[in-house]
Structure 1
Amino acid sequence: MRVLSNKILSNHVFSFITFLMLVFIFNSCNIKIKKEINSTFEKVKRIEILAYEDRNQWTKEDNPDFLKLNYIQNGKLEINKKYLRNRISLNKEQIEILKNKLRKCETENWAAACYDPRHAILFYDKNDKIFGYIEMCFDCNGRRSSENFKVFSECALGLEETFKEFGVTYFGE
């Protein structure tokens, strides 16, 4: 009976230690994401949210390589206006809301294979150049980002309602 009791106790201890390790790992990841977001937002002069026609529907001339986002060239937005549905510059209050939403990082853990991106967040520096972006497909929970935003780009997938609150009206056909 005593052996069984010790075995049960050791299983509980092992479970508890595993739980603590998972909490530690999760918190470490969250801390890294929050630091990265804070660092990024210190550089931000302004932020724009774009809503556009699904990039799969663009002409080859306007979108020669679907896997590469090509409407940002040399820190400037170069998108054919015929695809653009919303272009919203965030005010200071909205920028703070966006920052806090990204820090919370509320996402769903699912994805589909479609990747029909219709939205992007563009981050501008003090020289009014785009220094980073996150492009997303709310339909499949997919995203692409500039290298400097990869750490927290997944956090943008939970922003559809926030985009609506900011005035984005286009979410597909």
Structure 2
Amino acid sequence: MRWSSFLIIVAAVFSLFSCKNAEEKAVVQKEVKLPKMEETFPFAETEKIELLSYENRNDWDTIRRYSNRIVEDKKLLFDTTHVKERVVLNEKLTKDLFKAFFTPTPNSESAACFDPRHAVVFYNTNSEIIYAYEICFGCAVGQASNNDFKYTMTSVGTLYPVFKSAGIKYF
């Protein structure tokens, strides 16, 4: 009887410490310092951000199939008649997108399909494309149009809620 009481007390003490540890971890996650949007490429140079959804690009874009080169000379390289939805982000969704790009997330598993159906396109004040990020939510992989973006996402899943909030329905 004494041993069982002792073990219960020890277990209770350990559970208190483990709960505190979990609370401390949650606080650490909340304290992640994001870079300033107005100082961070491509957001700092962007006048407009557009979300696109389209049919699996590998089915119809035979020239650039399985390529991350979708922008050249500041224009989209692919046939935009396959684009099903285009949404220009408002200020709130732009901030949500920024947080999605820069909030660390746990690494997630991905498949090897890369059948892109979505893109985030950044335009400057001259309506020229300065950056694009193409996404396959099916395999959780994204590809950048260039290497100017020094931050990389650990999970494209963070972008999914932004697309949904923007009204994108084609997934």
2:139 maps to which residue?
140
Query: How many Å apart are 1:68 and its aligned residue?
Result: 2.2
Give the TM-score normalised by structure 2.
0.69
The answer to whether the 8 Å contact 2:140/2:155 transfers is no
Task: Give the drift of 1:153.
Answer: 4.2
Q: 1:149 is matched with which residue?
A: 149
Secondary structure of the residue aligned to 1:48 is: strand
**1:107 offset after TM fit, Å?**
5.4
Give the letter for the 2:88 counterpart.
S
Q: Residue 19 of structure 2 corresponds to which residue in structure 1? A: none
User: Contact (CA 8 Å) 1:36, 1:151: kept in 2 or not?
Assistant: no
**1:132 and 1:45 mapped to 2: Cα distance?**
12
8 Å CA contact retained: 1:48, 1:123: yes
User: What does residue 53 of structure 1 align with?
Assistant: 55
Q: Return the alpha-carbon distance in structure 2 between the equivalents of residues 147 and 157 of structure 1.
A: 21
Greater helix proportion: 1
Percentage of identical aligned residues: 29
Matched with 2:122 is 123
Matched, 1:165 2:146: no
Kindly tell me: are residues 107 and 161 of structure 1, through their superposed partners in 2, closer, same or farther at Cα, counting changes over 3 Å?
farther
Report the AA paired with residue 119 of structure 2: A
**1:14-163 counterparts in 2 under 5 A?**
34-35=34-35, 38-40=39-41, 41-58=43-60, 62-106=61-105, 108-145=107-144, 146-149=146-149, 151-163=151-163
Q: Structure 2: which 5+ residue stretches go unaligned?
A: 1-24
Q: 1:161 deviation in Å?
A: 2.0
Letter in 2 for 1:86: E
For normalisation by structure 1, the TM-score amounts to 0.69
After superposition, the C-alpha distances for 1:55-79 in whole angstroms (9 at most, x for unaligned) are: 1211xxx431323245423112343
RMSD: 2.7
